[in-house]
Structure 1
């Protein structure tokens, strides 16, 4: 993991997985005041799962981590497209697929870090200057 870009992608993956693995109430608290689209979350994770293949070739992800990421990617791929419409905060409460993804993200973090309980990334707020 000599390349700064590889390290950044690993960190990005760990942060997103920390968010996906959090209890629903913690996710909803993190989302408070944000209008994060469900499709954005799903597409970002799918992208990271695809990128992980190349990163594993460069030893950024261990085989067990890659296996877990592939499992997350497959689960996201089977998610009903109609459930990707709207805000993620709403989907967390209505689509049981997010419970499955939460469990898979936790497994990835246990494999990677030994514990799924990780600090959540700082929320990205709009750049309006009103925050």
Structure 2
């Protein structure tokens, strides 16, 4: 088992940077629509990219919990957020993945509410 955070990053195992990136992704999802649109503009990204880092981190969540980088108490809230995002996926939901939708659609309001609830539980 890798105990040093820098060593975990070096040997290709999910490291502390991945956990921090995951927390950052939750924070971006928790942000107001105006902040999200500004972030997307600043990094020259499309709306889908709001979710990509979250999705990658969510796949590693058990590792983050095992290493005590994420509190296990946050897992149910993060799982609920993941379910909401999954429900918004698919070609039939493309209308949800625009900058305008971030500010106008109730699905994104729910994402922000769930992300804020999860963020409170993260270190």
Does TM, scored on the shorter chain, surpass 0.5? yes
Query: Which fold has the larger relative contact order, with Cα–Cα distance below 8 Å and residues 6 or more apart in sequence?
Result: 1
Cα–Cα, structure 1 residues 107 and 86, in superposed 2: closer, same or farther, change >3 Å?
Answer: closer
Which of 18, 21, 37 is the aligned partner of 1:9? 18
- The aligned residue for residue 105 of structure 1 is 115
Give the structure-1-normalised TM-score.
0.69
Cα–Cα, structure 1 residues 84 and 7, in superposed 2: closer, same or farther, change >3 Å?
Answer: farther
Q: CA deviation at 1:40?
A: 2.9
Q: What do residues 57-112 of structure 1 show as CA deviations (whole Å, max 9, x unaligned)?
A: 22221111222221211111111423346864233134322111111111111112
Indicate the larger mover: 97-106 or 20-29. 20-29
Give the structure-2-normalised TM-score.
0.73
Is the helix fraction higher in 1 or 2? 2
Which of 69, 77, 80 is the aligned partner of 1:71? 80
Q: CA RMSD in A?
A: 2.5
- The aligned residue for residue 27 of structure 2 is 18
Q: Matched residues in 2 for 1:15 and 1:102: separation?
A: 14
List runs of 5+ in structure 2 lacking aligned partners: 10-14
List runs of 5+ in structure 1 lacking aligned partners: 114-131
2:54 is the counterpart of 1:45: yes
Q: Is residue 30–residue 116 contact of structure 2 (8 Å, CA) maintained in 1?
A: yes
